[in-house]
Every structure is written in structure tokens, then in C-alpha cells.
Amino acid sequence: MTGSLAAQRSAVAMFAAALSFLTLAFTQAAFADAEAGRHKAQVCVACHGPGGNSANPAVPTLAAQPQQFIVTQLFMFREGKRKDAQMSSFAASLSNADLNDLAAYFSAQPHAPPAHVTAPENVAAGRRITEQNNCVACHARTLMGQQHIPRLAGQQAEYLRAQLRGFKASTRFDMDGNMTSAAQALSDADIEILGDYLSGLGAP
């Protein structure tokens, strides 16, 4: 009980810290420099693909993600809240200006048309799951994301499944708890279908 209260307090403190950081980030966002970001991104595209369009099933596409989402995630990796054996070390030494410049660059890159083709039987089933579970309320009707909420359309299928399993098991950090809650209702079969459905979605 005490432990979970402490954990809750620490999550609330983290959320407050993130909000004040983000306020700072957006005061500075006007100065975010996508051209500087393009240079800084040279190290990133080795894994995330040219222009942030990943061809690796375990690595997310960054192209056309909302700018605020990219800044938030880089901040979480840098602060050690979100952890990944490959990604964490690349975020550790980034300055606030780097976060803003990299986010400005990747969010402005065109998303390549999805290479993934959804199995016909999962098109209607996937849409139904995203409507019944309000995914479309937060991630936007077209699932293109908004503000600090990621684009899901055209993301790598295996990456999407791994994140959903991570939220469900509370092993992926979640800034405000919303996504951990949203994942609880999903069965393993739902997660399989969602990976296939979301990954094949292109621009509306």
C-alpha cells in the first residue's frame, strides 16, 4: 500500500516535471531548427531509417509523428523513465535544443506509404477494436496522432504489438497512465489484430 502510494506520488511528480519541461520545450519550440535537426539525425537514421521511415520491424518510424510526441519520448528516454537497450544511450546526452531540433526534423518528414498489407479479415475487426476501445478518441479519428499522442497508422506491426504488451504489463512507462489503462481491455488476440490493422493504414 505504502509502496503503491509512493509509486503514485512519484508518477505524479514525474508528470508535473514532464509538464513543466514541455512548457519550456514549447516556449523554445519557436526556435526549433529542423535543418539543424537534419544534421543531428544522421546518427538516428542508421536505425530509424532514411527520413525516419523504418524498415526494421522492431524499430519505430519517426516520420510524421507529432512534434510534441517526439520531444516527450526523447525526454522520457533521457530521464531514464522509458528504457530500451538500443535507444536509451542515444538519448542520454541530448540537450533540450537537440530534442526540439530532432523533433522538428522528424515530424516534418513525409511518411512513406505503408509496406505492410493488412490481412483482409483484420480490416473490419481492427477498426472495430479501435472504435470500441476509444483508441480513435485520443489517437485521432484517422489514427494520425495529435500533440503528445503518437501516430499509429503505418507504424511497424511488431513494434506496435510490443508496446501494447508493454503497456498492459506496465513495463512501458506511460506519462499520464492513460495508455496503461487503455491496454488493460485488450486480449492477446486483439493485440495481434491491432498490429496487423494499424501497420497497414495509410493516409486517409
Residues at the interface with ligand HEC (CB under 6 A): 43-44, 46-48, 58-60, 62, 70, 73-74, 84, 86-87, 90, 102, 130, 133-135, 137-139, 148-150, 152, 155, 160, 162-164, 174-175, 178-179, 182, 186, 194
Instruction: Decide: helix, strand or coil at residue 149.
Output: strand
Q: Taking the complex as a whole, how short is the minimal distance between the CB of residue 128 and ligand HEC, in angstroms?
A: 11
Residues in contact with 47: Cβ distance below 8 Å, sequence separation at least 6, in sequence order: 54, 56, 59, 86
Q: Which is nearer to ligand HEC, 1 or 70 (CB)?
A: 70
Q: Taking the complex as a whole, how short is the minimal distance between the CB of residue 124 and ligand HEC, in angstroms?
A: 16
Q: Taking the complex as a whole, how short is the minimal distance between the CB of residue 47 and ligand HEC, in angstroms?
A: 3
Q: Which is nearer to ligand HEC, 121 or 131 (CB)?
A: 131
Asked if residues 80 and 73 have their Cβ atoms less than 8 Å apart, the reply is no
Q: Taking the complex as a whole, how short is the minimal distance between the CB of residue 17 and ligand HEC, in angstroms?
A: 13
Q: Which is nearer to ligand HEC, 36 or 138 (CB)?
A: 138
Distance CA 126, CA 92 (A): 36
Q: Which is nearer to ligand HEC, 1 or 179 (CB)?
A: 179
Q: Please give the single-letter amino acid code of residue 105.
A: Y
Q: Taking the complex as a whole, how short is the minimal distance between the CB of residue 23 and ligand HEC, in angstroms?
A: 17
Handedness of CA 57, 63, 68, 70 (dihedral sign): positive
Q: Which is nearer to ligand HEC, 125 or 138 (CB)?
A: 138
Q: Taking the complex as a whole, how short is the minimal distance between the CB of residue 25 and ligand HEC, in angstroms?
A: 13
Q: Which is nearer to ligand HEC, 6 or 89 (CB)?
A: 89
Distance CA 110, CA 129 (A): 27
* Rg for the chain, CA atoms, rounded: 17
C-alpha cell read off for 121: 479479415
In this structure, what are the phi and psi dihedrals at residue 168, rounded to the nearest 5 degrees? -60, -40
**Helix locations, 108-187, DSSP H:** 120-132, 135-139, 157-168, 178-184
Looking up cell 496522432 gives 145
